Amino acid sequence: MMGTSILIVEDDERIRTAVRLVLEEEGYHVDETESGEAALDVFAPSPSDVVLIDIMLPGIDGFEVCRRIRRLSDVPIIMVTARDDSHDIVAGLEAGADDYLSKPFDPKVLSARIRALLRRARPSEAAHSHLVVDQLELVADEGTVRVAGQEVHLTHTEFRLLVEMASSPNKVFSREDLLAAVWDYDYLGDGRLVDVHVRRLRTKIEADPANPRYVMTVRGMGYKLQT
Amino acid sequence: MAAVDQPEDGQDVPADHHADESRPVPLGLRARISLSFAVGGLLVSVVVAGATLVLTRRQLIDSRESAAAAVAVSNATRLSNQLTHDASIEDLPAIADSLTKIEGFQRLIRLGDTWLPAPELGQEDLPPLLLQQLSDRVAGQQRASLSGQPHLVVGIPLAAFDADYFAVVDLADVDDTLGNLQIVLFGASIFATIIAAVFGAWVSQRTLRPLRRVRSAAEAIAGGRLDTRLEPQSDPDLDRLADSFNEMARALEERILRDARFASDVSHELRSPLTTLKASVGVLEARREELSDRSQTALTLLSDDLDRFTRLVVDLLEISGYDAGAAALDLSEVQVSQFLTATTRGTGPVPIHMPGHAGDLVITADKRRLARLISNLLENANRYGDGATSIIVDEDGAGIRIAVEDSGPGIPEEERAAIFERFSRGSSGGRRGGGDSGTGLGLSLVIEDVRLHGGRVWVEDRPDGKPGARFVVELPTAAESQL
């Protein structure tokens, strides 16, 4: 865990300090910033390994910070919301966040989330570490995905989602299966995480995201990678 | 509180019932208006009928009398002209036959001491008063009852002779006419009364139609649709009522929303300091071993109450979401047995009984709310019922029932509705379970969550007769019907 750096973007100094203490206790190196602009200034020259962004920020808001960091990097991002508002959560995920936490969160849960996002992509079955479907080529060991020979940039979580489904092509994975495998959530995890990540994945690998060729929705059951 | 309806065993119903029976039921506004119209109709028709009868009677009798008098005068004149001084009673019938005859008209003639009687009448039938008057040689008329029938007797003295002419007119047909008229008027009065009652009913219905609209609007507001308003009315009186009603509804809505917003704002404001507190306590927990025993005890207290306080704030936020009408279902397919296994993981293992055919039962529900609902019931069982003993799932075509049973003292019948109220802890509830970590909002959130799913929840005795409570959540299988 040593050497892993986390960037906290939070305008409330007390929360920032307390969360820094928690994370330093876990052995992380922590950078704090109080605004989106400052966060981008810190992140651009030396990207952190995980970013924790509060949605409500003075100046540019958390969604925008998330989008701008996504343009620079595939780093895991956790959104922190002060509301259980469904729109905020989905908007955060669509802006590129990998997971979210609602205030007040349990510090143990925060640590667990960070650990889950930092896990290395490891397909359940190594046999399919190299998979070619139509125009899509996935090399799990290299961590690369190519569509029609062109390399596609996936975030850490998107890549793991694809690798998980590629481990058993044509098998239907329920949302709960994917939550457990990719996010390390139990059955009660939020299925919207899966839905939004599948949507984001499709925009990157599908020629027509509205009519997917590879990642198919199986109504009432879940998703599958179709060969 | 439809959702807390207890199974209908009718224990406390009869008391109310009797109270209702002994109390006289007041007439409704509509019935009273109809009745007033009917009484009004009856009064008017009785007055009109009475006046008609009196006037008609007078008119009929007057005309009858004047006609009779005219005929009598003319006959008496003709008799006087034809009579000679030496005429005897024997000559009279011939003369009398030549006089004008009309129906129901009889005549008697006195000549000296002798009488020419009518076929059915003799001089003894004539009223003595009239005879007396005639003996003074003054003409007169008098109504009299002859052989039980009303008659008019006109007496005219023949001035040139010692003779009188009497005309007796039968008035029975006048009475018959009046009798018929009476029957007709009586019928008309009844008819008018009925028409008035029907008209009254119609008028009251028309008049009360705006009131019915007010009623439905009030019911809609009571049902939670706070933005319900009345449309402007065409009638100025009703329009004022609509205005006042709308003003009241607006004030009510504003107030309720303000209260809900206040609770929500307060809870939001508490989120930030709670985040700081939880993170800080987390740091202390990580270094618990470095603390003295006393500090460790203090940290435990701090940590436990912080958790409780956090839950209270989170529950309050949820409740205020319901109060503001902002709660919405986030539906997904929920695999019941997997779901229950995951939900009970946090509270310790509880045996789950699924019917054989429901092994892979899937329902459409809001997973997060359903999980909170079940864990609230499990926590409630932990706190007041010595822990849940089993979860029993039961399913039929209409819906799914999830029952959480405990082995505590059970809940007395009279407290079963109240325990679902906010911050309510039944008389038997508050005293047990030492370190009470409940927020007092758990069961009221249960009821809101169940209701949002279009289901209901109730508490009953355990069906196996053992002590303990059984909370049953019933959800329609197709929960999307609510959205």
Q: Residue B5's pLDDT is what?
A: 43
Q: Residue B300's pLDDT is what?
A: 95
- Looking at the partner chain, which of A14, A22, A176 has a beta carbon nearest the beta carbon of B283? A22
Cα–Cα distance for residue pair A33/B224, rounded to 1 Å = 45
Of B115-119, B166-170, B278-282, B412-416, highest mean pLDDT = B278-282
Taking CA–CA distances from B363, the nearest residue in chain A reads: A220
A104·B278 Cβ contact <8 A: yes
Q: What percent of chain A has pLDDT over 70?
A: 95
pLDDT of residue B20 exceeding 60, the answer is no
- Looking at the partner chain, which of B278, B332, B342 has a beta carbon nearest the beta carbon of A107? B278
pLDDT of residue B103 exceeding 60, the answer is yes
**3-state DSSP call for residue A210?**
coil
| Chain B environment of A84 (Cβ under 8 Å) | 317-318, 321
What phi and psi, each to the nearest 5 degrees, are found at residue A118? -90, -10
Q: What is the 3 state secondary structure string of chain B?
A: CHHHCCCCCCCCHHHHHHHHHHCCCCCCHHHHHHHHHHHHHHHHHHHHHHHHHHHHHHHHHHHHHHHHHHHHHHHHHHHHHHCCCCCCHHHHHHHHHHCCCCCCEEEEEEECCEEECCCCCCHHHCCHHHHHHHHCCCCEEEEEEECCEEEEEEEEEECCCCEEEEEEEECHHHHHHHHHHHHHHHHHHHHHHHHHHHHHHHHHHHHHHHHHHHHHHHHHHHCCCCCCCCCCCCCHHHHHHHHHHHHHHHHHHHHHHHHHHHHHHHHHHHHHHHHHHHHHHHHHHHCHHHCCHHHHHHHHHHHHHHHHHHHHHHHHHHHHHHHCCCCCCCEEEEEHHHHHHHHHHCCCCCCEECCHHHCCCEEEEEHHHHHHHHHHHHHHHHHHCCCEEEEEEEECCCEEEEEEEECCCCCCHHHCCHHHCCCCCCCCCCCCCCCCCCCCCHHHHHHHHHHHCCCEEEEEECCCCCCCEEEEEEEECEHHHHC
Taking CA–CA distances from B280, the nearest residue in chain A reads: A18
pLDDT of residue B41 exceeding 60, the answer is yes
A188·B342 Cβ contact <8 A: yes
- Looking at the partner chain, which of A14, A22, A220 has a beta carbon nearest the beta carbon of B282? A22
Note whether B310 contacts A: Cβ–Cβ < 8 A. Answer: yes
Q: Pairing relation of β-strands B388-395 and B352-353?
A: parallel
| Chain A environment of B339 (Cβ under 8 Å) | 187-188
pLDDT band at B359 (very low <50, low <70, confident <90, very high): low
Cα–Cα distance for residue pair B243/B229, rounded to 1 Å = 9
Q: Residue B7's pLDDT is what?
A: 44
B366, β-bridge pairs:
B331
Q: Residue B268's pLDDT is what?
A: 74
A21·B279 Cβ contact <8 A: yes
Q: Residue B78's pLDDT is what?
A: 84
Cα–Cα distance for residue pair B166/B328, rounded to 1 Å = 105
Question: Which of these ranges, A29-33, A161-165, B201-205, B238-242, has the smallest mean pLDDT?
Answer: B238-242
pLDDT band at A8 (very low <50, low <70, confident <90, very high): very high
A104·B371 Cβ contact <8 A: no
Contact in structure between B125 and B116 (CB atoms under 8 Å): no
Q: Residue B436's pLDDT is what?
A: 53
pLDDT, tens digit, 9 for 90 and up, residues B386-431 = 888 899 998 887 788 999 999 888 888 888 888 888 877 655 444 3
pLDDT, tens digit, 9 for 90 and up, residues A122-169 = 444 444 568 888 888 888 777 889 998 889 988 889 998 998 898 888
Note whether B341 contacts A: Cβ–Cβ < 8 A. Answer: yes
Domain ranges of chain A: 5-118, 126-225
Contact in structure between B245 and B251 (CB atoms under 8 Å): no
DSSP state of A126: G
Cα–Cα distance for residue pair A216/B4, rounded to 1 Å = 43
- Looking at the partner chain, which of B279, B321, B368 has a beta carbon nearest the beta carbon of A22? B279
Q: Residue B236's pLDDT is what?
A: 82
pLDDT of residue A85 exceeding 70, the answer is yes
| Chain B environment of A187 (Cβ under 8 Å) | 338-339, 341-342
Instruction: Give A29's contacts (C-beta < 8 A, 6+ positions apart).
Output: A3, A4, A5, A6
User: pTM for this structure?
Assistant: 0.64
- Other CB atoms within a 10 A radius of the CB of residue B129 amount to 12
**ipTM exceeding 0.90?**
no
pLDDT, tens digit, 9 for 90 and up, residues B440-458 = 788 888 998 998 888 889 9
Q: Residue B357's pLDDT is what?
A: 67
Q: Residue B426's pLDDT is what?
A: 54
pLDDT, tens digit, 9 for 90 and up, residues A92-104 = 999 999 999 998 9
* Distance from the A227 Cα atom to the nearest Cα atom in chain B, whole angstroms: 26
Give, in words, the CATH class of A126-225. mainly alpha
Q: Pairing relation of β-strands A50-54 and A77-81?
A: parallel
DSSP state of A76: -
Cα–Cα distance for residue pair B202/B220, rounded to 1 Å = 26
* Distance from the A15 Cα atom to the nearest Cα atom in chain B, whole angstroms: 5
- Mean pLDDT over each residue of chain B, to the nearest integer: 81
Q: What percent of chain B has pLDDT over 90?
A: 12
pLDDT band at B169 (very low <50, low <70, confident <90, very high): confident
A-interface mutation test, from B275, B378, B483, most A Cβ less than 10 A away: B275
pLDDT, tens digit, 9 for 90 and up, residues B362-382 = 888 888 899 989 988 998 888
Q: Residue B323's pLDDT is what?
A: 75
Q: Residue B358's pLDDT is what?
A: 60
Q: Which residue has the tokens 């028709």?
A: B45
Taking CA–CA distances from A195, the nearest residue in chain B reads: B332
List b or e across B108-128, with b for residues whose CB sees 16 or more CB atoms inside 10 angstroms.
bbbbeeebbebeebebebbbe
pLDDT band at A212 (very low <50, low <70, confident <90, very high): very high
pLDDT, tens digit, 9 for 90 and up, residues A19-36 = 999 999 999 999 999 999
Q: Distance of CA B259 to CAs B142, B222, B262, B323, B451, Å?
A: 92, 17, 5, 9, 21
What phi and psi, each to the nearest 5 degrees, are found at residue A35? -145, 165
B-interface mutation test, from A52, A103, A110, most B Cβ less than 10 A away: A103
Cα–Cα distance for residue pair A35/A12, rounded to 1 Å = 10
Note whether B276 contacts A: Cβ–Cβ < 8 A. Answer: yes
Question: Which of these ranges, B223-227, B251-255, B310-314, has the smallest mean pLDDT?
Answer: B223-227
B-interface mutation test, from A12, A13, A15, most B Cβ less than 10 A away: A15
pLDDT, tens digit, 9 for 90 and up, residues B211-234 = 788 888 888 888 778 888 888 877
CATH pick for A5-118 out of 3.30.230.70, 2.60.40.1930, 3.90.1150.10, 3.40.50.2300: 3.40.50.2300
B332·A82 Cβ contact <8 A: no
B-interface mutation test, from A21, A80, A178, A187, most B Cβ less than 10 A away: A187
| Chain A environment of B275 (Cβ under 8 Å) | 12, 15, 18-19, 103-105
Contact in structure between A227 and A121 (CB atoms under 8 Å): no
pLDDT of residue B235 exceeding 60, the answer is yes
B279·A221 Cβ contact <8 A: no
Taking CA–CA distances from B328, the nearest residue in chain A reads: A86
Q: Looking at per-residue confidence, does B173 or B154 come out higher?
A: B154
A152, β-bridge pairs:
A145
| Chain B environment of A22 (Cβ under 8 Å) | 279, 282-283, 286
Q: Residue B100's pLDDT is what?
A: 77
Contact in structure between B319 and B445 (CB atoms under 8 Å): yes
DSSP state of A177: H
Which two structure tokens, joined as six digits, stand for A43? 């992140």
The secondary structure of A86-118 as a DSSP string is HHHHHHHHHTT-SEEEESSPPHHHHHHHHHHHH
Q: Residue A120's pLDDT is what?
A: 65
Taking CA–CA distances from A14, the nearest residue in chain B reads: B276
* Distance from the A103 Cα atom to the nearest Cα atom in chain B, whole angstroms: 6
pLDDT band at A39 (very low <50, low <70, confident <90, very high): very high
Q: Crossing angle of helices A62-72/A36-43, nearest 10°?
A: 10
Q: How many CB pairs under 8 A join A and B?
A: 84
- Mean pLDDT over each residue of chain A, to the nearest integer: 88
pLDDT, tens digit, 9 for 90 and up, residues A188-206 = 888 889 999 999 999 999 9
